[in-house]
Amino acid sequence: MQKKLNGTVIVTYRCNARCKMCSRYKCPSKAEEEITLETIKKLPQMYFTNITGGEPFIRTDLKDIVRELYKKSDRIVISTNGFFTDRIIDLCTEFPQVGIRISMEGLEATNNKIRGLEDGYNKGLSTLQKLVDMKHPDVGFGMTVQDDNCQDLVPLYRKSEKMGMEFATASLHNSFYFVESNNVIHDRLRVGKYFEDLVNILLKSKSPKKWFRAYFNHGLINYIFGEERLLQCDMAFDTFFIDPYSDVMPCNGTKDKEVMGNLITQTWDELWNSEKAEKVRNIVRHCDRKCWMIGSAAPAMHKYIWVPTWWIIKHKFLRFYKKQRYSMDELKIVRDYKAGKVTTKQLDSRSTCQFNNEVNDGLSEASKAQLKDKSGEEIVDADIAGQETL
């Protein structure tokens, strides 16, 4: 029997949000080119599938996609900005087991400033509340922590707890996927301190799932200080991403789009076992981007489970017997930075931030061509307006 994989399906690059840390909304895919049901049928068996975008709910056939994916995936989670409330509720009514993660970048003022969606916070929250009211079991927030919103990290976590929801975190990354090269944390100690508080709250809880989340957030502190990943990256070995053009890639963190093959022209087995796929695996083995996103960290945490488990045991022991809280100072780089042995400039140079570097947006020629006369925002706004008049 073939091993089940962990897959992420980027169903569209169209997005109606205007996030500060992601310029994808300026570079949408052309709707006619986006991955079809026929191609989705060719995907392998998966133990977990993340559906993402752009904004996935811009696709009016998302329910058909989910229906098809459930034939080959044990668990599906959709990442969304929560704007299309009716579509989300409708989909969750048909698929009560689907996971929904709504991006919230902080409390009201912070969220709306970062995400650029008019009344985005209240819209997202009311979608979440409706899902809670209908007792949808797998609902949560997703927050990209940065200088502008780190002060809201713990309050937002508390809010998610109160509402009985999951809480997923990330930090700033640069890649073709985000169409960004300028993202960087400026005040690492301040941001790290808020992560440290969250780690302590999670470690204190009685939930093993939250203890593993504590480890993940410890990994985020490690990442923002530019250190090597806590766990080896095995993307493209038992994990894959597929983009709106049906190009299969190892992840969404690379500087330029790395392609293992295309699922329109190839079968899954041809693609997965190809020489091109092997070359990409070799790139992954030598990748120096050190990113720490849930898509690449969660499979590694499952695979090398004894590493986070040992870290948890150690911290539970320290907390219980020595009354010692977790401190980000356990990372040598943090101690060195505090002692002035490493400068901010040196840390910046170890990050993936390259100010004003030209970014490869990974768009097809046809998608690029439509940007000649109109902006990405105009194209997507017109798309959505057209859908509403149908």
Q: Does 102 bind ligand SF4 (CB under 6 A)?
A: no
Other Cβ atoms within 10 Å of 139 Cβ, number: 25
The phi and psi torsions of 41 (rounded to 5 degrees) equal -60, -25
Q: Does 8 bind ligand SF4 (CB under 6 A)?
A: no
Q: Cβ 291 to ligand SF4, closest distance in Å?
A: 4
**In terms of C-beta density within 10 A (0-12 exposed, 13-18 middle, 19 or more buried), how is residue 221 classed?**
buried
Q: Does 296 bind ligand SF4 (CB under 6 A)?
A: yes
Q: CA–CA separation, 90 vs 190, rounded Å?
A: 41
Residues 6 or more apart from 77 whose CB is under 8 A from it?
48, 49, 50, 51, 98, 99, 100, 101, 138
Q: CA–CA separation, 67 vs 263, rounded Å?
A: 19
Which one, 160 or 252, has the nearer CB to ligand SF4? 252
Q: Cβ 359 to ligand SF4, closest distance in Å?
A: 14
Q: CA–CA separation, 33 vs 44, rounded Å?
A: 21
The residue length of the chain stands at 390
Quick one: residue 82, left, alpha or beta (phi over 0 = left, psi -120 to 50 = alpha)? left
Q: Cβ 253 to ligand SF4, closest distance in Å?
A: 3
Out of 235, 260, 342, 363, the only residue in the binding site for ligand SF4 (CB under 6 A) is 235
Which one, 288 or 365, has the nearer CB to ligand SF4? 288
Which one, 150 or 287, has the nearer CB to ligand SF4? 287
Out of 75, 204, 276, 289, the only residue in the binding site for ligand SF4 (CB under 6 A) is 289
Out of 291, 328, 333, 363, the only residue in the binding site for ligand SF4 (CB under 6 A) is 291
> In the range 242-281, which residues lie near ligand SF4 by CB under 6 A?
250-251, 253-254
Q: Does 287 bind ligand SF4 (CB under 6 A)?
A: yes
Which one, 284 or 353, has the nearer CB to ligand SF4? 284
Contact 172, 183 (CB under 8 A): yes
Beta-bridge partners for 166: 140
Q: Which stretch, 203-211, 268-276, 290-298, 321-329, contacts ligand SF4 (CB under 6 A)?
A: 290-298
Q: CA–CA separation, 104 vs 236, rounded Å?
A: 29
Q: Cβ 78 to ligand SF4, closest distance in Å?
A: 21
C-alpha closest to that of 383 among 128, 53, 125, 111: 53
Q: Does 300 bind ligand SF4 (CB under 6 A)?
A: no
The two beta strands, 76-80 and 239-242, are unpaired
Which one, 17 or 233, has the nearer CB to ligand SF4? 233
Q: Does 284 bind ligand SF4 (CB under 6 A)?
A: yes
Q: Cβ 283 to ligand SF4, closest distance in Å?
A: 7
Which one, 53 or 250, has the nearer CB to ligand SF4? 250
Q: CA–CA separation, 95 vs 162, rounded Å?
A: 24
Q: Cβ 300 to ligand SF4, closest distance in Å?
A: 9
Q: Cβ 296 to ligand SF4, closest distance in Å?
A: 4
Give the binding site for ligand SF4 (CB under 6 A). Answer: 233, 235, 250-251, 253-254, 284, 287, 289-291, 296
